[in-house]
């Protein structure tokens, strides 16, 4: 995954404005029959309130030692934190819910990488278990407006779009780069289908509004049959 440690240090500032996803994932966790797992757990921003609500530990997996260190400091007693690559997901017990917030699946560069994660998740879910995630829906107008722009918040950075590669690079003044590779609705549907999951819902935001032509965020909930 593409997430340099320099970004981990400033993650809380990057995520400060993202608060509406927490209640969404909390509600899914409350309905989960079985273990709850967060992929790309980061600092525990979502996992900690989830664990507090359901009254049991959330398994949190991340490839960044710096992120896990922050999560451990913030609420390590509430989390079962594990250093690992999402493409190598293995659980001791089938999960009732696996979720991946804050567009983290977009740090995987290829469809094959995402397929590997989806296959691992599908094998790790109990029958009836859910997989939930969110990702931005690419908009050419937004990309055209922002390409090459330098922004000061939340920390100084420049955005560079490589539309032919379906990639946006976030470049810090230090030269560190974090990249995201977007996907279309049909690409997400293909991933769901190829691993044998079923679409339970596709929302346009965390308030569960329907996804439509004006939506700029995919909020997916898939389910393992049975």
- Which CATH number does the domain housing residue 196 bear? 3.40.50.150
Quote the pTM value.
0.95
% of the chain exceeding 70 in pLDDT: 98
Rounded to an integer, what distance in angstroms lies between the CA atom of residue 87 and that of residue 122?
A: 12
Rounded to an integer, what distance in angstroms lies between the CA atom of residue 11 and that of residue 17?
A: 11
- Encode pLDDT of 8-33 as tens digits: 777 777 777 888 999 999 999 999 99
**Mean of pLDDT values over 106-110:** 96
Number of Cβ atoms within 10 Å of the Cβ of 45: 23
Q: What are phi and psi of 204, to 5 degrees?
A: -95, -5
At 28 the pLDDT is 98
Helix H, strand E, coil C: the string for the chain is: CCCCHHHHHCHHHHCCCCCCHHHHHHHHHHCCCCCEEEECCCCCCCHHHHHHHHCCCEEEEECCHHHHHHHHHHHHHHEEEEECCHHHCCCCCCEEEEEECCCHHHHCCCHHHHHHHHHHHHHHEEEEEEEEEEEECCCHHHHHHHCCCEECCCCCEEEEEEHHHCEEEEEECCCCEEEEECCCHHHHHHHHHHCCCEEEEEECCCCCCECCCCCCEEEEEEECCC
Whether residue 144 lies inside any domain: the answer is: no
Whether residue 100 lies inside any domain: the answer is: yes
**Mean of pLDDT values over 93-102:** 97
Length of the chain: 226
At 5 the pLDDT is 72
Whether residue 55 lies inside any domain: the answer is: yes
Full domain range(s) for residue 84: 5-136+183-223
At 8 the pLDDT is 74
Assign 3 a pLDDT band (cuts: 50, 70, 90).
Answer: low
- Burial track 10-28 (b if 16+ CB lie within 10 A, e otherwise): ebeebbeeeeebbebbbeb
Whether residue 168 lies inside any domain: the answer is: no
Whether residue 74 lies inside any domain: the answer is: yes
- Is residue 4's pLDDT more than 60? yes
At 11 the pLDDT is 77
At 32 the pLDDT is 98
Whether residue 149 lies inside any domain: the answer is: no
At 205 the pLDDT is 98
Whether residue 171 lies inside any domain: the answer is: no
At 13 the pLDDT is 78
Domain total of the chain: 1
- Is residue 157's pLDDT more than 60? yes
Mean pLDDT across the chain:
94
Assign 1 a pLDDT band (cuts: 50, 70, 90).
Answer: low
Rounded to an integer, what distance in angstroms lies between the CA atom of residue 130 and that of residue 65?
A: 27
Whether residue 176 lies inside any domain: the answer is: no
At 10 the pLDDT is 74
């Amino acid at each position: 995954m593409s997430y340099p440690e320099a970004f981990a240090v400033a993650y809380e500032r990057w995520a400060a404005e993202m608060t509406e996803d927490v209640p969404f994932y909390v509600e899914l966790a409350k309905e989960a029959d079985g273990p709850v797992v967060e992929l790309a757990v980061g600092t525990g921003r979502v996992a900690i309130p989830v664990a507090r609500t359901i009254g049991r530990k959330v398994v949190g997996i991340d490839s960044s030692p710096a992120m896990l260190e922050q999560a451990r400091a913030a609420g390590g007693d509430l989390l079962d934190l594990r250093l690992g690559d999402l493409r190598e997901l293995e659980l001791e017990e089938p999960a009732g819910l696996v979720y991946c917030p804050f567009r983290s699946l977009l740090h995987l560069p290829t469809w094959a990488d995402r397929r590997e994660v989806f296959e691992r998740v599908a094998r790790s879910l109990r029958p009836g278990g859910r997989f939930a995630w969110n990702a931005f829906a690419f908009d050419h107008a937004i990309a055209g407006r922002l390409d090459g722009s330098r922004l000061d918040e939340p920390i100084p950075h420049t955005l560079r779009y490589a539309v032919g590669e379906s990639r946006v690079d976030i470049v810090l003044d230090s030269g560190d780069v974090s990249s995201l590779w977007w996907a279309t609705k049909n690409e997400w549907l293909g991933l769901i289908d190829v691993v044998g999951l079923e679409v339970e819902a596709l929302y346009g935001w965390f308030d569960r509004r329907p996804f439509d032509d004006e939506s700029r965020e995919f909020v997916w909930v898939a389910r393992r049959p049975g």
